[in-house]
Amino acid sequence: MLFNLPGYAVVAAVDGVDDDGQPVRRVMVASAAAEAACPACGVLSARVHQVRRSRLLDIPVAGRVEVVTIRRRFVCAERRCVKRTFAEATDQVPLRAKATTRLRAAVLDAVICSGRAVEEVAAAHGVSWWTVQRSVNAAAVVLPDVDAVLVRRLGIDEHRYRSVRFFRDEAGDWKRREPWMTTLVDLDTGRVLAVVDGRTSGGVGGWLEARSQAWRDRVQVVAIDPSAAYRKAIVEHLPQAAVAVDAFHLVKLANEALTQVRQRLARQRHGRRGRSRDAAWANRRLLLRAANTLSPRALARLKRTFHDDDPTSELAAAWAVKEQLRRLLACTSLATVHQEKMRLGVYVLAADTAETTRLWDTICTWWTEIEVTVITGVTNAKTEAANTSVKHIKRTGRGYRNQDHYKARILLRSAARTAA
Percent of the residues in the chain that have a pLDDT greater than 90, as a whole number:
81
- Cα distances (angstroms) measured from residue 174 to each of 1, 164, 170: 65, 13, 10
pLDDT at 350: 96
pLDDT at 420: 62
pLDDT at 307 over 90: yes
Q: Comparing 176 with 111, which gets the higher pLDDT?
A: 111
pLDDT at 320: 97
The average pLDDT across 72-81 equals 94
Helix (H, G, I), strand (E, B) or coil at 66: strand
pTM value is 0.84
Residues composing the chain:
420
- Cα distances (angstroms) measured from residue 164 to each of 167, 176, 178, 196: 10, 7, 5, 18
Give 25's pLDDT tier (boundaries 50, 70, 90). Answer: confident
DSSP annotation of 40 reads: T
pLDDT at 1 over 60: no
Residues 126 and 128: their CA atoms lie apart, in Å, by 7
Bridge-partner residues for 45, per DSSP? 36
pLDDT at 57 over 60: yes
Helix (H, G, I), strand (E, B) or coil at 65: strand
pLDDT at 169 over 90: no
For residues 70 and 81, is the Cβ–Cβ distance under 8 A?
Answer: no
- Cα distances (angstroms) measured from residue 15 to each of 24, 53, 161: 6, 19, 47
pLDDT at 247 over 70: yes
Q: What is the pLDDT of residues 379-409, one digit of tens each?
A: 999 999 999 999 999 998 888 889 999 999 9
Give 136's pLDDT tier (boundaries 50, 70, 90). Answer: very high
Q: Of 41-45, 64-68, 158-162, 273-277, which range is least confident?
A: 64-68
> Average pLDDT, whole number, for the chain?
93
pLDDT at 225 over 70: yes
The CATH architecture annotation of domain 146-246+379-419 reads 2-Layer Sandwich (3.30)
H or E element in which residue 186 lies: strand 180-186
Residues 59 and 125: their CA atoms lie apart, in Å, by 6
Residues 411 and 413: their CA atoms lie apart, in Å, by 6
H or E element in which residue 87 lies: strand 85-87
Q: What is the pLDDT of residues 95-110, one digit of tens each?
A: 989 999 999 999 999 9
Residues 146 and 81: their CA atoms lie apart, in Å, by 40
